[in-house]
Amino acid sequence: MAEFHRKLERNAIGFVLAVIVVSGIGGFVEIAPLFTIDETVEHDPDMRVYTPLELAGRDIYIREGCSACHSQMIRTLRDEVERYGPYSLAVESQYDHPMLWGSKRTGPDLARIGGRYSDDWHVRHLVNPRDVVPASVMPRYGWLDENRLRTSDLGRRLAAQRGVGVPYTDAMIANAEADAIAQANPDNAGTSGVYERYGRETHVRPFDGDAEVLTEMDAVVAYLQILGGLTDAAHDQQPEG
């Protein structure tokens, strides 16, 4: 074999042809499966999109660097499933641009954090994590409860998401600002529109406890409370017993 390599390396044309052949084999192995991608990627017709308020919360989550310490991908390992819930499916992230799977876990995985704690717990945790988790090393984010949420550009944000494949309708884009305000105020006349566009299971309540003022805290808590709840696909595939 060593003698064959020496002869091949002395023959420039032969060496180039060998490189082309090997590269072609490698490329075929990687590219060929893409022709069957429609058969291998999960689809869920009941998957819903983020509401404007939840999407704004996700943007703030990214802005504050939360994904640097929290992953959103439960692996198929037994200890992860027992701790966090059913392992993550690709379909659950199909509307995430960018995806936030991550691999760094200074804090716990948040893929299924939605509904595990009350809104009040999340608010207290974000204002001062040590109030609810004494050993936490997470920084404080108290200003979220003081900053009013910017809503004037929510329609453009939804339109941008539609540009990369998220199925937001014209009505969702046109009513984005009003829907964000109504989702955090159950007494708002626009709540019926939120339910109509995003489903009866949509969380509509003052997430930070104050229905009069829409804050960044409302948006972040709304986002955290929907994580793992956009689809039941993972729970449906969970083996019994």
On whether both 115 and 171 belong to a single domain, the answer is: yes
- Does residue 28 share a domain with residue 59? no
pLDDT of residue 37: 65
Cα–Cα dist 230/94, whole Å = 11
Residue 45 placed within a domain? no
Q: CA separation (Å) from 9 to 19, 20, 23, 221?
A: 11, 14, 17, 62
Number of compact structural domains in the chain: 2
Cβ atoms of residues 111 and 73 within 8 Å: yes
Cα 174 to Cα 58, 171, 215, distances in angstroms: 20, 5, 21
Question: What range defines the domain where residue 140 resides?
Answer: 52-230
Same-domain status, 192 and 95: yes
Look at residue 30 in the predicted model and tell me its pLDDT.
Answer: 85
> 71 and 18, same structural domain?
no
Q: What is the DSSP letter of 158?
A: H
pLDDT at 41: 66
Residues 82 and 192 occupy one common structural domain: yes
> What is the residue type of 40?
T
Quote the pLDDT of residue 33: 78
In a domain, 236, yes or no: no
How far apart CA 29 and CA 57 sit, in angstroms, is 40
Give me the pLDDT at residue 238, please. Answer: 59
List the CATH number of the domain containing 165: 1.10.760.10
Residues 30 and 93 in one domain: no
In a domain, 47, yes or no: no
Q: What pLDDT is attached to residue 40?
A: 63
Residues 75 and 106 in one domain: yes
Quick one: 134 and 28 in the same domain?
no
Strand partners of residue 148: 215
Across the 241 residues of the chain, what is the mean pLDDT of every consecutive 10-residue run? 74 82 90 73 83 98 96 94 93 93 93 96 98 96 97 97 96 98 97 97 96 97 96 72 49
CA distance 217 to 215: 5
Residues 84, 14 within the same domain:
no
Are 110 and 198 members of one domain? yes
Q: Contact at 8 Å (CB) between 96 and 54? A: no
Residues 216 and 99 in one domain: yes
Query: Is there a single domain that holds both residue 70 and residue 33?
Result: no
**Position 9 in a domain:** yes
Residue 240 lies in a domain: no
User: What residue has token string 């390396």?
Assistant: 9
Q: What is the pLDDT of residue 166?
A: 95
Rounded to 5°, the CA angle 201-146-207 comes to 15
Residue whose C-alpha is closest to residue 219's, from 70, 58, 62:
58
